[in-house]
Amino acid sequence: MSIFSLFRKKTSAPLARERLQVLLAHERASAGSDLVAVLREEILAVIAKHVQVDADRVQVTMDRDEHVSVLEIEVEIPLPSAMKAA
Amino acid sequence: MGKVIVVTSGKGGVGKTTSTAALGAALAQRNEKVVVVDFDVGLRNLDLVMGAERRVVYDMVNVIQGDAKLPQALIRDKRLETLFLLPASQTRDKDHLTAEGVERIINELKKYFDWIICDSPAGIERGATLAMRHADMAVVVTNPEVSSVRDSDRIIGLLDAKTLKAERGERMEKHLLLTRYDANRAERGDMLKVDDVLEILSIPLIGIIPESMDVLKASNVGAPVTLADARSAPAMAYFDAARRLAGETLPITIPGDKRGFLGKIFGRKAA
């Protein structure tokens, strides 16, 4: 530390790091798009057999890490149609 | 059987060719047989950086098409007996570089050399995927800068998907070579730090090459930096990286933090 640090402007590297982390999380999720697209379709087909779902309300994302990848599936089941189906 | 290394990056201008030449010459100085292979068809430059541009007679495409035998196309370095270059073709159509042809050449080179170092073209197109296809391990060259880190991330994804190793379900060994690093600027907070890049890309580090005039000087005279000035900071960093490639375990040092007496008084932030 030096006395100059008191007057120092905000540094830029932390912003670079943050932007990259956000961007790459997004790009990694869509990178394996082939697999994700196939999974999405098949999962949707299975769910649609039992529950009425809107194709746009199914989200499949993939997150890559050093050791594990996380596959996240989010299915939104609309209430009115679910009632109708019941 | 020789080990095949691909030097790749996605982004252009980050130091793939410089690193290929420097690592090749460093390994050859350990008395191991090394061939550096230029995959940048149409825009070859490894011959120039190696100082062999006037000795190119045949190139990889000539060998693939059967116009020349592999030994005829290999150029032996004038300074190092165990260092060879296989040049890329300059003018021909990129499509002449066939997957089968490349496979045949790599398999033959593996019989005669300890190290086959493939200098990948920039981008993520066919040339880049052909260069990485037969690799046993990859050196991902990255600058501490956002676009380079992003492109390296893409390349890491390709290495895990489009290589023979990946297709066989094996793990591709990937190493990060951080080039053009400026320890002072990183310390000041205006350049991504080593740890930032490592955390984002999450592959092991094989070396940190400092930003240095010596790299340009070496390419000016047509010599790998590990031959032109073996005592320079980038050369020493490349020698260490080469030793790690060969399996040695060395502590990683951050090179190039050479602040003088005045710099220390005024603090690293004042510069």
**pLDDT by residue (tens digit) across A54-81?**
777 777 777 766 567 788 888 887 776 5
Which residues fall within 8 angstroms of residue A54, CB to CB, at 6 or more apart? A76, A78
Answer whether A17 sits within 8 Å of B189, measured CB to CB.
no
Which of B153, B186, B269 is facing A24, going by the closest CB pair? B153
Q: Which H helix or E strand runs over B242?
A: helix B233-245
Write out residues 121-150 of B within 8 Å (CB-CB) of A: 145-146, 149-150
Answer whether B200 sits within 8 Å of A20, measured CB to CB.
yes
Cα separation, A81 vs A4, in Å, equals 65
Answer whether A2 sits within 8 Å of B269, measured CB to CB.
yes
**Taking every pair of C-alpha atoms in chain A, what is the biggest distance, in angstroms?**
71
Reported confidence tier of residue A83, pLDDT bands at 50, 70, 90? low
Determine the average pLDDT of the residues in B219-233.
96
Residue of B nearest to A66 (CA): B202
Cα separation, B122 vs B129, in Å, equals 10
B268 lies within 8 A of chain A by CB: yes
Answer whether B192 sits within 8 Å of A13, measured CB to CB.
yes
B156: closest CA of chain A, how far (Å): 11
What would the 3-class secondary structure string for A6-52 be? HHCCCCCHHHHHHHHHHHHHHHHHHHCHHHHHHHHHHHHHHHHHHCC
Burial of A67 (C-beta count, 10 Å sphere; 0-12/13-18/19+): exposed
Average pLDDT, rounded, for chain B:
92
Contact B49, B18 (CB under 8 A): yes
Residue of A nearest to B266 (CA): A2
Which of B157, B186, B267 is facing A13, going by the closest CB pair? B186
B171 lies within 8 A of chain A by CB: no
pLDDT at A43: 82
Q: Is B108 left (phi over 0), alpha (psi -120 to 50) or beta?
A: alpha
* Token pair recorded at residue A83: 């009632």
* Token pair recorded at residue B181: 């690093």
Reported confidence tier of residue B271, pLDDT bands at 50, 70, 90? very low
Cα separation, B51 vs B219, in Å, equals 8
Cα separation, B109 vs B115, in Å, equals 9
Contact list in B for residue A5 (CB cut-off 8 A) is 267, 269
Sign, CA dihedral B54-B55-B56-B58, equals positive
How is residue B180 annotated by DSSP?
E
Determine the average pLDDT of the residues in B47-59.
95
The model's pLDDT over B95-153, given as tens digits with 9 standing for 90+, comes to 788 899 999 999 999 999 999 999 999 999 999 999 999 999 999 999 999 999 999 99
Answer whether B266 sits within 8 Å of A2, measured CB to CB.
yes
Contact list in B for residue A66 (CB cut-off 8 A) is 202
Residue labelled with tokens 């109708």: A84
Higher pLDDT, B38 or A40: B38
pLDDT at A74: 83
| B214: three-class secondary structure by DSSP | helix
Answer whether B192 sits within 8 Å of A17, measured CB to CB.
yes
**Interface probe, candidates B200, B262, B266, B268, chain A, greatest A C-beta count within 10 A:** B200
Worst-scoring range by mean pLDDT, A14-28, A29-43, B114-128? A29-43
Determine the average pLDDT of the residues in B50-56.
95
pLDDT at B270: 38
Q: Provide the ipTM.
A: 0.81
Radius of gyration of chain B (CA): 18
* Token pair recorded at residue B210: 């400092």
Contact list in A for residue B266 (CB cut-off 8 A) is 2, 4
